[in-house]
Amino acid sequence: MLNPSHVVSGIPQNLEIILAVLGGLVLVMLVCLLYLLTKVSKLIRLYQRLTRGTSGGILEEILDQYMGTVNKNTNRMDLIEKKIESIETTLENCLQRVGVVRYDAFEDVGGAQSFALAIIDSKRSGLVMSSVFSRNSIRVYAKGMSEGQPSHPLTKEEQQALDQAAAKKAGLGGNR
């Protein structure tokens, strides 16, 4: 057993050691205090950022409001995605690809005044038109297209216009 009187009587002799140990403990506590203060200041900044624009209510209420906003935006995104799918489906059936070939139909008429025009959708349905220019007249012909099959045989120029139109990629901005 340790005698209390011996402990008290030994203090003056070991005062430097005791002060050094206590000083070390104070230093360690000071470092811990600084570390905790930085952590608390970070938490305060995060809390202020989280509660910015609110009435400063209870954190649970603020998070509940944020979750309501997130759910509302998720629902809006779902509706937008469905609308985009609908637009893409409609776009497939729109006349969206165009090909034009100009040519001279007759040897005595220059300037490539005749043309073949193909306007089709993504399934190669649509129409092919031709305009044949001569010195005395202009004739216009139209042929329907259904999934790549013409209603009447195509001329070489009409086929070139159709191939040109089919080679183009369609999108919301038109031909690319």
The CA-based angle 104-109-115, given to 5 degrees, is 30
Q: Would you say residue 172 lies in a domain?
A: no
Counting the structural domains of the chain, the total is: 2
Is residue 18 in some structural domain? yes
**Which amino acid type is present at position 4?**
P
Helical pair 59-92 and 15-51, crossing angle rounded to 10 deg:
40
Can you give the pLDDT at residue 4?
64
Hey, what long-range contacts does 13-19 have (CB within 8 A, 24 or more apart)?
Answer: none
In a domain? residue 50:
no
Provide the residue range defining the domain that includes 116: 97-167
Q: Do 120 and 162 form a contact (C-beta atoms < 8 A)?
A: yes
Is 52 part of any domain?
Answer: no
Q: How far is CA 117 from CA 76, 96, 104, in A?
A: 42, 13, 14
Residue 129 lies in a domain: yes
- Distance (Å) of CA 173 to CA 51, 86, 91, 176: 42, 17, 11, 8
Q: Give me the tens of pLDDT residue by residue for the chain, a chain 176 residues long.
A: 666 666 566 667 778 888 899 999 999 999 999 999 999 999 988 888 877 766 666 777 778 888 899 999 999 999 999 999 999 888 888 888 999 999 988 877 778 889 999 999 888 899 999 999 888 889 999 999 998 899 999 999 999 999 999 997 755 444 43
- At residue 6, the pLDDT reads 61
15 belongs to a structural domain: yes
Instruction: Kindly state whether residue 34 falls inside one of the protein's structural domains.
Output: yes
pTM of the model as a whole: 0.53
| Residue 54 maps to a domain | no
